[in-house]
Amino acid sequence: MSRHSLASRHFSQNLAFTVFRLIMLTVLAALGGILLYVFIHGISAISWEFLTAEPTNSMTTGGIFPAIMGTLYLTVGAILVALPLGVAAAIYLSEYATDGRTLRIVRLGIQNLAGVPSVVFGLFGLALFVGYFHLGISIAAGSLTLGLLILPTIIGASEEALRQVPSTFREASLGLGATRWQTIRKVVLPAALPGILTGSILGIGRAAGETAPIMFTAATFYTIGLPRSPLDTVMALPYHIYVLATAGTHIEQTRPLQYGTVLVLISMVLGLSLVAIIIRTRMRKTKQW
Amino acid sequence: MLQIPEAQVIVGDNAPPVAVAPLTKRKVTSTVQEARIRRVFVVSGFFSVIIMGLIVLFLFKEGLGLFSTVSVKDFLFGEFWYPTYDPADFGILPLIAGSMAVTVISSAIAVPLGVGAALYLGEVAGHRTREILKPAVELLASLPSVVLGFVGMVVIAPLMQQWWDIPTGLNILNASMMLAIMAIPTIASISEDALHAVPKDLVEASLALGATRLETLTRVIIPGAISGMGTGVILGMSRAMGETMVVLMVAGGAAQIPTSIFESVRPLPATIAAEMGETPFGSEHYHALFAIGIVLFLLTMGFNLVAAYISRRFHQKGAATL
């Protein structure tokens, strides 16, 4: 170090930090560029009719209402599956588990579940829910598959939220004579609720954007009207984009519809993420402990 | 002031006689109930493990059927993937090569960008800038993969074809760029956490000795954070390898062993996604796609286990291990 003058050491520092800054700008430019490009090309397709009408003329005109509703059904179903299971698992991890072999196995299971590729979840859903449970290609099968896919997200966020509740809360409650379950139900869970909510919203966003898991378990190219039961197939926004962009004879002709659908999907998913991030930031600022 | 303890004594005197008798009885039932509730949560904790078990079970149940007609060697090292020909060829070497190609190239793009972004967020950016930019990186992570596939296909591919005068813009480079966008947030956020976890007294000691911030970064912070950063990189690669929609829409779909980054490939996830829809339930081709699922599952699980091992083995335990 002594070989270099202070000035040259500061010069190399400035150089390195500038490189880091440029890298960050590149990453932001990628995000901004994609959002801007999709917005500019998609906004002209968006109209009240586009959002509320059904596709017409073999998908070349009309709206995407059934796809929006389909994505809504699938994500609501997914969160109904994942939220109770995920919060229960998080309660185990944060309130009941003690260090040791059991906990290591459970953590390894969750970590690996989080790393399973989405298309493998699709295969699994096809084999288990569509085939073995005879649900067929349906909203039910797709929701269950998506629910399992987002389970690790929900567990992770809920556990973090539970752990952030100060142990003095628990001690005060236990000290007053409440049982452990009463403490969890009346003290810990309410305090952790905003964090759990944030995690759920992120999970919903993830489920809404996934394509591969629903390709063989729930989604279909076109339905007449809206699905009438959980055992019906559905249209879904991500699958709609994929099909319009890759299949069929009108790929160029439906380009505006494709951009419009992408814009709707991005607005839904990023909107949800943004809401979650804002709730989290607010929570950190106003938290009283 | 003195009245307060008095008031508490009165409450204490009044309370016990009412509560004592029912309390003992309730305590017994509640202990039984508590044990039962505890069991429910332990089982919920194990649910993820059970699901992992079921995934393995069903992948193998549906996938192993292939190997009654095709040998494992011909499957893994066969150079031809012609699943619909008669007789069909189920060699997945070109598919594995395709997956490897996009994973390696996308890492080559995503690792410097992800690590650089983490270094900026962790060491250069001020507090307020970081508060705004970290959520932006998270937003990048929540971009649906089908959107990136769409952008790669509709925007990037025609540009590439024009600029470099190549036969197709749907190739390894394009797919890798889109995959890199998915991997960058994973790498950046895990690396940033690792940088953040390096003990502050080490950093302050280095600065107090007269090292510049860059020297502190390269000689104290990065060595302390290297295991976390390694974990982030490997998880990012695992994500790129398992990602489906981008490679399905952008990699071009040609089942060939590539010789340049401007060639099309057909990675493992793309093959499953593209062909499962047109395959009769229970056919040889159906079993072959599940067998590909097994290979993909094992590859990504390998990556995840290595990441878990690195983060455990080289975990920073206070200042002593540095």
**What CATH number should be reported for the domain holding residue B245?**
1.10.3720.10
- The continuous run of DSSP H or E covering A62 comes out as strand A61-62
CA Rg value for chain B: 28
| Angle ∠(A116,A119,A120) on CA atoms, nearest 5 | 50
For residue A158, which amino acid is it?
S
Is residue B218 a part of any domain in this protein?
yes
B228 and B261 share one domain: yes
Is residue B1 a part of any domain in this protein?
no
B173 and B219 share one domain: yes
Q: Hey, CA dihedral for A205, A211, A216, A221, is it positive or negative? A: positive
Nearest residue to B96 (alpha-carbon basis) of B109, B77, B83:
B77
pLDDT at A222: 76
What backbone phi and psi angles, to 5 degrees, belong to B89? -115, 125
B78 and B216 share one domain: yes
Is residue B3 a part of any domain in this protein?
no
| Reported ipTM | 0.89
Q: Which residues, including other chains, have CB under 8 Å from residue B248's CB and lie 6 or more apart?
A: A242, B149, B269, B270, B273, B274
Q: Which residues of chain A have pLDDT under 70?
A: 1-3, 57-60, 248-249, 287-289
**What is the phi-psi region of residue B282: left when phi exceeds 0, alpha when psi lies from -120 to 50, beta otherwise?**
left
B60 and B93 share one domain: no
pLDDT at B26: 58
Residues forming a β-bridge with A219: A234
Q: How far are the Cα atoms of A31, B121, B130, B134, B252 from residue B126, in angstroms, in the given order?
A: 21, 8, 6, 12, 43
Domains and CATH numbers, chain A: 68-236 (1.10.3720.10)
List the single residue in B38, B273, B289 with the smallest CB-CB distance to A212.
B273
Nearest residue to B152 (alpha-carbon basis) of B117, B112, B181, B187:
B181
B50 and B83 share one domain: no
pLDDT at A202: 87
Is residue B4 a part of any domain in this protein?
no
Report the C-alpha gap between A6 and A256 in whole angstroms: 58
Cβ atoms of B139 and A26 within 8 Å: the answer is no
B47 and B136 share one domain: no
B38 and B162 share one domain: no
pLDDT at A187: 92
Q: Hey, CA dihedral for B138, B141, B146, B151, is it positive or negative? A: positive
Q: Does the beta-carbon distance from B41 to A155 stay under 8 Å?
A: no
B34 and B99 share one domain: no
Report the C-alpha gap between B117 and B189 in whole angstroms: 9
Q: How many residues does this entry show for chain A?
A: 289
Is residue B205 a part of any domain in this protein?
yes
Structurally, how many domains does chain B consist of? 2
Gap from A106 CA to chain B (nearest CA, Å): 6
Q: Which residues of chain B have pLDDT under 50?
A: 1-21, 320-322
Q: Which residues, including other chains, have CB under 8 Å from residue B57's CB and lie 6 or more apart?
A: none
B76 and B64 share one domain: no
Is residue B303 a part of any domain in this protein?
yes
Q: How many CB pairs below 8 A link A and B?
A: 261
What backbone phi and psi angles, to 5 degrees, belong to A271? -60, -45
Residue ending a domain, among B36, B68, B100, is B68
Nearest residue to A70 (alpha-carbon basis) of A262, A236, A241, A266:
A236
Is residue B290 a part of any domain in this protein?
yes
Q: Does the beta-carbon distance from A118 to B249 stay under 8 Å?
A: no
Cβ atoms of B300 and B241 within 8 Å: the answer is yes
B81 and B150 share one domain: yes
Residue ending a domain, among B68, B84, B106, is B68
pLDDT at B95: 92
Cβ atoms of A177 and A238 within 8 Å: the answer is no
pLDDT at B315: 63
pLDDT digits (tens, 9 = 90+) for A25-36: 999 999 999 999
Residue ending a domain, among B68, B90, B112, is B68
B149 and B282 share one domain: yes
Domain of B90 in residue numbering reads as 72-313
CA B109 to the chain's CA centroid: 17
The B residues from 242 to 301 touching A (CB cutoff 8 Å) are 242-245, 248-249, 269, 272-273, 276-277, 281, 289-290, 293, 296-297, 300-301
For residue B125, which amino acid is it?
A
B195 and B111 share one domain: yes
Report the C-alpha gap between B233 and B107 in whole angstroms: 8
Q: Which residues, including other chains, have CB under 8 Å from residue A56's CB and lie 6 or more apart?
A: A62
pLDDT at B13: 47
The A residues from 72 to 131 touching B (CB cutoff 8 Å) are 85, 88-89, 91-93, 95-97, 105-106, 108-113, 115-124, 126-128, 131
Is residue B209 a part of any domain in this protein?
yes
